[in-house]
Amino acid sequence: MLEGVKKEFCYGCSACATVCPKNSIEMILDEEGFKYPVVDNVKCVGCGLCEKTCPVLQPKSNVSSTVQKAYGVKHNNENVLRTSASGGFFTAISDVILAEGGVIYGAAFDDDMVVRHFRATTALERDRMKGSKYVQSDIGDTYLLIKKDLQDGKKVLFTGTPCQTDGLKRVLQGRTNNLICVDLICHGTPSPLVFADHIKMIEAKTHKRVISYCFRPKKWSWHVHREIAYLSNGKEYHSNAYSDLWRTIYYMKLATKLSCHHCQYSCLNRPGDLTMGDCRGIDAVCPGFGSDEGVSLVLVNTPTGVEYFEKVRSAMKVIELSIDDVMQPPLREPSKQSGNRMKFMSVYRNKGYMSAVHACLGKLYYLKYNVKKLLNKN
């Protein structure tokens, strides 16, 4: 079934594949590197459960009411703050869940540098989930694992994009007791396949294997966005035109999933109990609270969100904000599709990653990057 869902609107949340009682739906990678549901019509019995679950066909049935409160937060622990993408809220709330004997689900790199959702029961396992991931994660069988954990009476913290959060709730069909969801302020999810080729490019340049990657290190402060690839020889690869290519592709939306430009979650009606992201604008509103170490913006959306935010207060410095003062673009409307997006993907499919980069950024991209870097120094 799922005949009514156009590809450019599908989030790839995997809810339909998870609920199918006949396992007739498989999430298949397309030529751009995104997974979409493909129905085996031989196995399908036409029950319609996939269509009843789909967030495109049944929009916003699991989305919470508008935001109740907005806060800027910074973790009290300097090490946590330094190793977090923003203010360390994820560590604070996951510490509470772990202390209550619960489990954590979040995105992290696997051994092949693929971003997937994992299950964590310890702080060490949880720590690999810290930090922003500017690529769509593979949700795998996460929804089913969470369903089993909840049936076993465990508390579960799930963190993910709004479409993944809504997908999870649809799979659970209202049986969400002991579930705490934190959705992300999402600017759009780029292609995992294109990112894999970005990693291969770095490995070809350095002749070393990339063993880890940080999309938003604080090596140069929270306000500076460069990216670091950690190499097998113990060195860091950063601060050049090639290491920062993914940052450019991300901001220019050259490899973003098409459905992100139609996102129904780009508003203040959130699927999570809590919403977290960067607290951009904090320095203008509360200059004494903002810092180079980073500040998280936390939106409290439900009674469960209120309960758990109060539980983490003691671990953080907290300031209440007007949401209008720190409003993020993804909370207003979906991102606009880049005029070069289709060109980038077309060249990428036919000629590869660097050809697509040259087609959209110019063959002198490396030179222009260095000239701009030199001018900024002066």
pLDDT at 65: 58
Contact 321, 304 (CB under 8 A): no
Handedness of CA 201, 202, 207, 210 (dihedral sign): negative
pLDDT at 270: 93
Torsion of CA 91, 93, 95, 101, to 10 degrees: -140
Has this prediction a pTM greater than 0.85? yes
Considering only CA atoms, which of 268, 253, 252 is closest in space to residue 327? 268
pLDDT at 113: 97
Contact 119, 105 (CB under 8 A): yes
pLDDT at 61: 59
Query: DSSP 3-state assignment of 162?
Result: helix
Q: Which residue has the tokens 């299950």?
A: 119
pLDDT at 62: 57
* Chain length of the chain: 378
pLDDT at 1: 54
Query: DSSP 3-state assignment of 164?
Result: helix
- Series of mean pLDDT values for 10-residue runs along the chain (378 residues): 84 97 96 96 94 91 72 96 95 98 98 97 97 95 98 98 96 94 96 98 98 94 93 97 95 97 94 95 89 93 96 97 92 95 98 96 84 69
How many CB atoms neighbour CB 61 within 10 A? Answer: 11
pLDDT at 259: 97
What the chain holds in terms of domains, given with CATH numbers, is 7-53 (3.30.70.20), 69-189+257-331 (3.40.640), 192-255+339-377 (no CATH)
β partners of residue 82: none
Spatial separation of the C-alpha atoms in residues 222 and 240, rounded to whole Å: 19
Spatial separation of the C-alpha atoms in residues 230 and 211, rounded to whole Å: 6
